[in-house]
Structure 1
């Protein structure tokens, strides 16, 4: 491709690709920082109103440090959605809407993160991984059975030699530096998963729109899509993207594979070199399988929803109405194009268009500004601070919190007097001064520092109304001094 053709292609890419637009935006540092802090972590989707509140707080702080941000969170989110950085979807839990990062925004954030903290790309583990995959691909695609057998026998010989070396004590484990290098290569690949899932969802959304358009645009001679849907064919699940995702999802949801995956992660995190990983890297590894399952289930729900919606759209004959509307719009556009050579767009016409619906507002909704509402009608009284009473503060604290210091002291006193004791025995000798709160506090201490027994006991206490109450609770026995 010549430089001119390449330049034209990149110019079109700049106009169409939101990732590039975000990277060259004037407010790119602010956009990436704000969106990544709220939507780039474990929380990938947030209700719109909650996101507005969070971003408004960020905007106040940014303005205080010299950033010129005259707009509001609502206005910026609307602009970012238009530019393709945010995706707005209806909320499944309420009647509102949610925001999440678009694949373009995820790609830009990932690119800038690699610029800020570049990873070592030329590593032994990465080359080994590529070589192993190439070797396996060559074996799996070789049509000559003899060559495939020879390669598999060579692999077996290498494995047998390694087994003998380990049995003889000659094979050493991987050193800490190389182990850390490999686990960070794995993390680098796994960090692309959120953007991969976002792209997969976008692919299915595009496929759903394409199939609906084909349903509307197909005529009598092109009824393949309609015929397949009427026969019950799931065109979304049977597409290339659907089959690819189905294979991935079945592997993730396989119990045996999942258990082995978790065991391997636990084993890696127990190694000595894993102590060099950051807390965020360790948490990411521990949650990796859970994240894969959650996002796979989400994509599966999207596929099911699109498939059902497409089938319902066809079987309910709603597409017939859209066909009529499309035909009328095209006819109107054709007539308008023909008339544009004779009549200017701003030429007045005698036509009158009656709207099907008119937005109505009541005059009572208008509220006049009353300056007197902001005037203080009473004299402001200044109160001087007084010395607080320790007893009053302690009484206020006991009304809102469990006095664990008192409960711990009671248990330790009984242990010193007569040895091990249960929650019921503590309450019988040290009444519950806070009513049921004391009972709950003792049970919490017993569950945390006591010994649980396979039995129950009856406890009693008096509340503020001086009415005696009883309950059956599990037996927790205190055997040692509480901390």
Structure 2
């Protein structure tokens, strides 16, 4: 969309990225946040560690600049940068932690990225980006082509090109990419890999904003539960079904493939062994960039899980209030009964039939009648949700199979094989026996899993009451599959 005067004026006064560029100490803010979060790819940092790093940074600047250049303490600077009017850091308290943590906001990361782009580059690569444009253009045109004959003709053309290249290699003519082309494509690969991490932070920020809006609506909501859930789930589905949500989900499914992870690991190892790449002194952390993607994606998934947890608590609170109202009515009835105990009203209060034996003779029993075939109406009608008790939906024990698969995949990232006991040691059971049975069900359908009946093993966990439970079962071994 075009940037008109009104939009630019609004951004200047309200957008955190523009405020960072206009700040009095913007060089301090940008250089420190880049060194603390973006350069080492740190998602969150405890307050004590970030404060110590800022104190060291301020000490070095005061030595080189002047003592009164930065008069405030590191704590004051961090709290000021995390203020809602600044919006460059997010200060929060993680679950099961009494120490504040800080995270970089997407707006601050955009501003720092733009400042970084202003620095002088060693060379500007244009060939690789031009080839990328042609490749993307070809993918779009091929993806929207509905004519089968046109698609077949394009595939046959590529097949003939590949065959000519094979014949040329067999004749001894091998085209090798030059040093400049290698460096250019490596520079583009590095930039794209780091941009993906920024995308994760922005997607997480969007879901966090949805979580905040849901909490505000829950706090002030006065209507029915069905209307509120309709509204919240509609907004969540809108994000999930947006272009950003769809591409994030497709990227996550692609990255979670063990074969793709192994392919990335092997490819990066080969890339860093090239002489042209070693001359650039690349950051060795780039070899593990896909694991950084996994960590950032898991944090985004945890933000979505917290939204679901907030909705569950809301339903629990509503059920508690309804049960409390029922108890109040029962107590009122009991109070009236006690008040009438010493002075009961006249007349009959109630009538009870005399107890009699229910005698049925054998000959009175009806003959066998074949059961009638029920007629099922498959039309679904919506009724008044106010009379529906949702408690039974939330008293069930639900085991997330996707979370269990991710736990197995993470343990197989750094080793060739792992036992079920080792997976559970690293990821303790949260819902007890049901989760253990789910692990066994996954192993039964997983080609990587084998059962060793000759070698039993014992798995222990702690239930909700604090008692230790143990289960003895055959050893389950998961083996990482290798691509051919």
- Category of TM-score, reference length = shorter chain: 0.5 to 0.7
Structure 2 distance, partners of 1:29, 1:238, is 37
Unaligned residue ranges in structure 1 (runs of 5+): 322-483
Larger relative contact order, structure 1 or 2 (CA cutoff 8 Å, min sep 6): 2
Contact 1:229 1:314 in 2 (8 A): no
Structure 2 distance, partners of 1:319, 1:116, is 59
Query: For 1:255-295, what per-residue CA distance to the aligned partner results, in whole angstroms no more than 9, with x for missing partners?
Result: 11111111211122222211222242xx1321211111111
Structure 2 distance, partners of 1:150, 1:320, is 68
Contact 2:265 2:288 in 1 (8 A): no
Query: For 1:38-92, what per-residue CA distance to the aligned partner results, in whole angstroms no more than 9, with x for missing partners?
Result: 2223233211122222212322332233341121111111111120111112135
The 3-state SS of whatever aligns with 1:208 is helix
Contact 1:215 1:319 in 2 (8 A): no
RMSD: 3.1
Counterpart of 2:16? 18
Query: For 1:114-141, what per-residue CA distance to the aligned partner results, in whole angstroms no more than 9, with x for missing partners?
Result: 2123365551111111211210111111
Matches within 5 A, 1:397-412: none
The 3-state SS of whatever aligns with 2:4 is helix
Counterpart of 1:245? 248
- Residue among 253, 258, 267 paired with 1:264: 267
Unaligned residue ranges in structure 2 (runs of 5+): 323-484
Distance 1:144-1:210 versus aligned 2 partners, 3 A rule: farther
Counterpart of 2:154? 151
The 3-state SS of whatever aligns with 2:48 is helix
- Residue among 177, 184, 188 paired with 1:185: 188
Q: TM-score, normalised by structure 1?
A: 0.59
Q: CA deviation at 1:251?
A: 0.9
Counterpart of 2:48? 49
Structure 1 distance, partners of 2:48, 2:227, is 44
Distance 1:33-1:237 versus aligned 2 partners, 3 A rule: closer
Contact 2:88 2:108 in 1 (8 A): yes
Distance 1:244-1:60 versus aligned 2 partners, 3 A rule: same
Counterpart of 1:136? 139
Q: CA deviation at 1:235?
A: 4.9
Query: For 1:111-169, what per-residue CA distance to the aligned partner results, in whole angstroms no more than 9, with x for missing partners?
Result: 12221233655511111112112101111112222222222222222222222222222
Distance 1:44-1:228 versus aligned 2 partners, 3 A rule: closer
Contact 2:210 2:236 in 1 (8 A): no
Tell which structure's C-alpha radius of gyration is larger: 1
Matches within 5 A, 1:438-449: none
Counterpart of 1:394? none
Counterpart of 2:116? 113
Structure 1 distance, partners of 2:73, 2:321, is 43
Structure 2 distance, partners of 1:217, 1:45, is 31
Q: CA deviation at 1:98?
A: 0.6
Counterpart of 1:458? none
Counterpart of 2:72? 71
Q: CA deviation at 1:102?
A: 0.9
Distance 1:144-1:320 versus aligned 2 partners, 3 A rule: farther
- Residue among 27, 30, 35 paired with 1:29: 27
Q: TM-score, normalised by structure 2?
A: 0.59
